[in-house]
Amino acid sequence: MSRIGKIGFVKRFGRDWMVLLLSLLLAFFVWFIHNMSSDYVVYMQYRLNVKTNIAGYSPYSTANETLIVKGKAQGFYILKERDFKKTPSDLLLSVDAELFKKLSGEKDVFYLNAEDLEENLSATLGGHFVIDNIESGMLTFYFSKQDYKRLPIVARTSLTYKNQYMLASDIVLDPDSVTVYGSKEKLEQIENVSTKTIVFDGLSKSIRGIVQPESLENMRISEEKIKYFIKVDRYVEYTRKMMLSTINLPPNKNLILLPSQITIKYRTPFNSKASIYGNDISVDIDYNDFIKSKSSKVVPIFNSNGLTIYSYEIDPPVIECILTEIN
């Protein structure tokens, strides 16, 4: 074979070898993708970290035992989770505090049944891992204690209303109180927790919603969301002059009221009975309030007599009383 022929043979052999090598690599790639895309029954191990809300304790803990779950998953997921690691994969779950029970004879140790986590696990792992069975039984957790205080929630608002509409009752919050964690010194300085400002303009109907509590520096609040209900209703306003009456007055006593007549401005639901029969309401001076007063002045008592009154103003707001004897 001539020198030129030998060179041509070597070149053809080299090209054929490269084609073969590329074909083998392509076949291996297709085989790998196919196998990794297939589902396999597998046992997965997790180091379970939980976030919860047990009163008086820190929110985070790690299970003392390994969580073992049997299920089906694609090869890619199995490879990613195991990744040739010798330790279980970390998994964080938000767990309802009611699932935890105090472990008898152990200080600050709680337990839960692993099977109670199945729904939570399925939601967290998504479509990557289909659970067949949870092999683990009881899981135990140590939670460190924290100082805490139960405090009422106060709604912070910036509300305006359409003409002839108003807030018809106190704003309802659910929950109406929260647990606050922090140092004893800081806890002693606070009496309530405010919501973030609820802002609405031109309200003409009742509304429901969710608001976050206002954060407190270096403190933790048990609830992240507060439900609220704001009742808004149409009203009609009346202004009337009324004679004052006295209550709880002994038979041999008499109170002279100055003035004896007041002006009352009140708001009631539109078309309500209170709008039509305004005389059903009364404004009284209680003799017992007069006796307790350090002066002769008493604040009148408004009595709606069961009718719905949204708000009222009395003028004058304080009545001067003179006590006399009846012979």
Quickly list DSSP for 218-252: T-EES-S-EEEEE-EEEEEEEEEEEE-EEES--TT
The per-residue pLDDT for range 47-90, each reduced to its tens digit, is 999 999 888 888 899 999 999 888 777 655 656 666 556 678 88
Supply the pTM of this predicted model: 0.66
> In angstroms, rounded to a whole number, what is the distance separating the alpha carbons of residues 44 and 65?
14
CATH fit for domain 236-325, picks 3.40.50.300, 3.40.350.10, 1.10.1040.10, 2.170.120.30: 2.170.120.30
Q: How confident is the model at residue 34 (pLDDT cuts 50, 70, 90)?
A: very low
> In angstroms, rounded to a whole number, what is the distance separating the alpha carbons of residues 289 and 283?
14
The per-residue pLDDT for range 181-228, each reduced to its tens digit, is 988 888 988 999 999 999 999 999 999 999 999 998 888 898 889 999
Q: How far is CA 287 from CA 182, 257, 259, 300, in A?
A: 48, 11, 16, 11
Q: How confident is the model at residue 18 (pLDDT cuts 50, 70, 90)?
A: low
CATH code: domain 149-230 is 2.170.120.40
162 pLDDT above the threshold of 90: yes
Domain positions in the chain are 1-37, 38-142, 149-230, 236-325
Cα-to-chain-centroid distance, residue 318: 42
> Which residues, including other chains, have CB under 8 Å from residue 208's CB and lie 6 or more apart?
227, 228, 229, 230
The two tokens of residue 247 are 């209550």
The two tokens of residue 59 are 């929110």
Stretch among 76-80, 164-168, 275-279 having the lowest mean pLDDT:
275-279
Q: Supply the angle between the helices 3-37 and 75-82 in degrees, to the nearest 10.
A: 90
Work out the mean pLDDT of the chain and round it to a whole number: 84
> In angstroms, rounded to a whole number, what is the distance separating the alpha carbons of residues 215 and 228?
18
